[in-house]
């Protein structure tokens, strides 16, 4: 029986040492644990990285699959796109023509107003008139 008593006291010493080691390990772990702001920053970086990765995946998938399926879509729906394109082209041409004529009309009216009001006189016109009166009739 004495062997059991020695064994049990050595077991309790080993368990005490193990508890001390676990406590010491937990203390070291707590010292090296990240601060809450660091954890939030890491979570934010992880979330943003996941979103950027997902967007990159979608862009690459669109770049690969787009040239495959877009011609098929255009081929199937060309009876809609051609008349619609012609209509948009005609409308854009008419709108730009209207804007061009409006700008030309505004410029012409501005010139006419300045001409009638006398703002279009050359700066040296008075000297020219004076020289013409001095030299006499030509």
Domain positions in the chain:
77-138
Distance separating alpha carbons of residues 58 and 29, to the nearest angstrom: 40
Q: Is the pLDDT of residue 91 over 70?
A: yes
Q: Is the pTM of this model over 0.75?
A: no
pLDDT at 26: 76
The 10 Å CB-count burial string (b at 16+, else e) for 76-114 is eeeeeeeeeeeeeeeeeeeeeeeeeeeeeeeeeeeeeee
pLDDT average, residue stretch 22-33: 76
Distance separating alpha carbons of residues 98 and 47, to the nearest angstrom: 52
Residue with tokens 């062997």, as numbered in its chain: 3
Spatial contact of 90 and 96, defined as CB atoms under 8 Å apart = no
């Amino acid at each position: 029986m004495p062997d059991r008593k020695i064994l049990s006291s050595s077991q309790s010493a080993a368990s005490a040492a193990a508890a001390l080691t676990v406590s010491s390990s937990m203390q070291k772990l707590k010292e090296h644990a990240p601060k809450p702001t660091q954890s939030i920053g890491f979570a934010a970086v992880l979330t943003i990285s996941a979103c950027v990765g997902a967007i990159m995946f979608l862009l690459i998938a669109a770049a690969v699959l787009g040239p495959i399926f877009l011609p098929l879509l255009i081929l199937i729906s060309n009876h809609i796109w051609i008349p619609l394109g012609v209509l948009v082209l005609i409308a854009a041409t008419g709108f730009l023509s209207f804007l061009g004529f409006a700008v030309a009309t505004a410029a012409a009216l501005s010139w006419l107003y300045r001409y009638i009001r006398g703002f279009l006189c050359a700066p040296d016109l008075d000297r020219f008139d004076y020289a013409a009166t001095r030299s006499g009739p030509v």
